[in-house]
Structure 1
């Protein structure tokens, strides 16, 4: 058997006998490997393969006896993680490099797990190894587990084995438990993971490795309330950085990270140091986006941010503001809706409106004039077989009537005409719209008519008498008859 290049550099015999390593300190082996690895000679792939063979043949006591800081293991973990990291989105060699590094990580983790039951080593040795390698090993595993252009189908199961080995050594049953701690008061390994990721998440470095943003987002999603608040300073800047990128996929990922933070960090913590205003500014920029997929997640995120933003505004002033952040956002959304012709964006806007109305409650009366124009316009135009926008607008109208019913008399004529026109269009429609969708539209429009009738003291029933008598569409007459004979719904939204 030819000697391994790494063993040759150390002037050691081949590995037929594991005892051949006994006279050589492990730190010497690792430092020599790191030296050769940094120079790239003879080849990095063969060096990694050689180190894997050495560690596999090594005895647990030899590998872990030197301590106490085990700093060389941390350097090794970083070197291998960086070696296996993708350099571009579709890096074809990344999977092969990851496959070469997996045996090294598995051997060290297996030896660390074995050390917990070995006399003279114990759990403290395993924890010492984890403190040095938890960050790079976890990042390596997550990078190669996910199904991405740079990952390899052959190495994904092996990367899962690395992650399972890491959980086993740490005594954890799941990734969230590993990151946040298994028990109350016990610190997890999230700090170590973020310490390793932090240099890769700066404005100058985050785009060098396409896997970094996905690893960060994946780690962040695992930390929930109440654990996330203590790590806010570490996770907020990268999230803002991602959301500020010009590429759609990065915007979406960044806003998703911000949304997770908003949902899992107490409002009091977000309000400190003007953080909530910073997040609001970052999200408000996206309200002018023309990408429907970006707008969808931004509106969902802002809807959860608005209550926190309004609390912060109240703390700064004793008097309630005349115009709240919810008013400002809704005003902007309605302005965009009036001028929007892209169907995908119209659907996104329409789906968000009912929540805005529910959030504002009776204060929706401030926006009735513009909201009425939007409702009439969106009821006129079909948006395809699913009629997503029309259905959402009917829900919006229903919520609006329930909250602002004393004002409906002034808007009755316009809204009644818009509803009847839409119902006529639906009953005479010969397009590909499924019949269940048409029936849903007619049913929701009928509910709105009943609410309008109740809020205007029966005026709708009076106005529809002539329409019902002269209507020659039997299908439409069925729904008009419901308005005539059925009692109206209770107006209270609760």
Structure 2
């Protein structure tokens, strides 16, 4: 009896709700059970949501949508109307997708008028409240869909819901703490409804091989939602699109990324080419993720890798330290796709023709010689040891530039951590080990610089003990390597030094060089 009363109460509430919405005209009164097909009701709800002219009307309609999925009989809500089951399910999926998009559209972000202006904070003022109400209604829908045996409907609405949740759970001008919490709750409800463990699982599907594992992946659906807004003329009009795209891309890893490369690469290149540093950096991060998670053969196909190389190489002429740092890191991985590292080639001179590695290193060294901005100097100094290591013996082609850069950077302090000097000492060590037959003729100039560095560091009271000790140890190691290149010719010179010309601390460092050599 209790269950019958609850069912009757729910039906009366549903009937009252439908009458309140005026979804049926006076000429066509609300039918008695069985109710009209759910697809007809969803279509009318969608039309009303799109036509709503005020916030109060929109809020009322979203509340009605929420109550509909809370009170209606699931057998009616998710029953195909057509006699043909497959055709009926397709119609039902279309109706639910359209209604979901209409609810999401009620909290859509205002668009920029053109591709150079931005939306004011005042224009976003009403967005968080509308997003909270939309999240509430969508959570109820997901809760109902999660109880169905068939996942068709859930997979149909999951992509737009995921895009909506990601748009609003980020800390951005169009969100508030309340709307971010609501969006995170919506994302959790989506994962719960489909049994996905996390966002990466949601996008890429199960790891099981074959079509069965990929059938639960929604990354393709998410990209379909974003694609109309990711064109050259439209992506800058909505601030959220680039963030949702980047979030999606960075969640997808090997081997799931490769099939979607044609959809992921163009927007990443658009971001990379933008004049604003924040957009450019986002694009470089996306491109680097693609390089790391795509097979080399796929990147080389259709000359994609060369396109990426040209798009990144031009950024080496910028003066933005943050951009240069990301670009140098990405190029280091991309170059391995385009060519073998020079350090791995046979010692035959015929196989050591200049390559793209040389082009990058040559430009970096040229810029380093003239650079005076501290942030850029630090970025270049941090990246140079990796490139020298990659070059191997082929660094001989750049010895003059490397020598000038090392000498120039060792002369200038970089407090408090002395990062530049430490990195240059590392560069000198790697270069000496790789190109030792060519280093003997450079020993005199380098030795004078290293001894001067030891004297400066030992008397610098601003340095911490740990930094001073590290600098002196690395400098001693460089002198030891140069002594080896010159076949011990530095020994007589070093042994002539005494307390009249340098401190005991410096003599102690130099003693480690001479003692080791004597052994």
**Common fold: TM-score over 0.5:** yes
Q: Deviations over 1:75-121 (max 9, x none)?
A: 122233343243347423222121010122112111111222xxxxx
Instruction: Compute the displacement of 1:455 (Å).
Output: 1.6
Instruction: Compute the displacement of 1:53 (Å).
Output: 2.2
Please point out which of 365, 368, 376 is paired with 1:345.
376
Structure 2 length-normalised TM: 0.85
User: Residues 166, 104 of structure 1: CA spacing in aligned structure 2 closer, same or farther, 3 A cutoff?
Assistant: same
Distance 2:18 2:193 in 1: 31
For residue 492 of structure 1, what is the aligned residue in structure 2? none
Instruction: Compute the displacement of 1:20 (Å).
Output: 8.5
For residue 10 of structure 1, what is the aligned residue in structure 2? 23
For residue 119 of structure 1, what is the aligned residue in structure 2? none
Distance 1:267 1:472 in 2: 55
User: Residues 486, 94 of structure 1: CA spacing in aligned structure 2 closer, same or farther, 3 A cutoff?
Assistant: farther
**1:282 aligned to 2:303?**
no
Please point out which of 325, 329, 335 is paired with 2:356.
325
**1:99 aligned to 2:132?**
yes
**1:206 aligned to 2:235?**
yes
Mapping of residues 6-85 of structure 1, within 5 Å: 7-11=20-24, 23-42=35-54, 43-66=57-80, 67-69=88-90, 70-85=93-108
Mapping of residues 390-401 of structure 1, within 5 Å: 390-401=421-432
For residue 128 of structure 1, what is the aligned residue in structure 2? 152
For residue 451 of structure 1, what is the aligned residue in structure 2? 481
Instruction: Compute the displacement of 1:26 (Å).
Output: 2.2
Distance 1:389 1:132 in 2: 54
Q: Contact 1:405–1:455 (CA<8 Å) still a contact in 2? A: yes
Distance 2:218 2:296 in 1: 25
Please point out which of 264, 269, 294 is paired with 1:265.
294
User: Residues 418, 92 of structure 1: CA spacing in aligned structure 2 closer, same or farther, 3 A cutoff?
Assistant: farther
Q: Contact 2:382–2:423 (CA<8 Å) still a contact in 1? A: yes
Q: Deviations over 1:288-321 (max 9, x none)?
A: 11111111111000011111122599xxxxx857
Question: Structure 2 stretches of 5 or more lacking a match?
Answer: 1-12, 81-87, 111-118, 343-349
For residue 397 of structure 2, what is the aligned residue in structure 1? 366
For residue 423 of structure 1, what is the aligned residue in structure 2? 454
Instruction: Compute the displacement of 1:165 (Å).
Output: 2.2
Distance 1:366 1:245 in 2: 34
Mapping of residues 233-244 of structure 1, within 5 Å: 233-244=262-273
Please point out which of 155, 166, 184 is paired with 2:190.
166
Q: Contact 2:455–2:502 (CA<8 Å) still a contact in 1? A: no
For residue 157 of structure 1, what is the aligned residue in structure 2? 181
Q: Secondary structure at the match of 1:448?
A: helix
Q: Contact 1:454–1:488 (CA<8 Å) still a contact in 2? A: no
Distance 1:248 1:417 in 2: 41
User: Residues 478, 85 of structure 1: CA spacing in aligned structure 2 closer, same or farther, 3 A cutoff?
Assistant: farther
Q: Deviations over 1:241-289 (max 9, x none)?
A: 1111111111111000000000110111100101011101110111111
Q: Deviations over 1:205-239 (max 9, x none)?
A: 21222121111111111111122111111111111
Between 71-80 and 275-284, the greater mean CA deviation after superposition? 71-80
Q: Contact 2:49–2:106 (CA<8 Å) still a contact in 1? A: no
Instruction: Compute the displacement of 1:64 (Å).
Output: 1.0
Instruction: Compute the displacement of 1:184 (Å).
Output: 2.3
For residue 252 of structure 1, what is the aligned residue in structure 2? 281
Instruction: Compute the displacement of 1:167 (Å).
Output: 1.9
**1:408 aligned to 2:429?**
no
Q: Secondary structure at the match of 1:234?
A: helix
Distance 2:252 2:493 in 1: 57
Q: Deviations over 1:352-395 (max 9, x none)?
A: 11111111100000000011000000000012201111111111
Q: Contact 1:34–1:76 (CA<8 Å) still a contact in 2? A: yes
Between 213-222 and 143-152, the greater mean CA deviation after superposition? 143-152
Distance 1:464 1:4 in 2: 95
Alpha-carbon RMSD: 2.5
Q: Deviations over 1:50-71 (max 9, x none)?
A: 2222222222122111341120
**1:461 aligned to 2:491?**
yes
For residue 217 of structure 1, what is the aligned residue in structure 2? 246
Instruction: Compute the displacement of 1:347 (Å).
Output: 0.3
User: Residues 312, 444 of structure 1: CA spacing in aligned structure 2 closer, same or farther, 3 A cutoff?
Assistant: closer
Instruction: Compute the displacement of 1:12 (Å).
Output: 9.2
Instruction: Compute the displacement of 1:177 (Å).
Output: 1.5
Mapping of residues 376-387 of structure 1, within 5 Å: 376-387=407-418
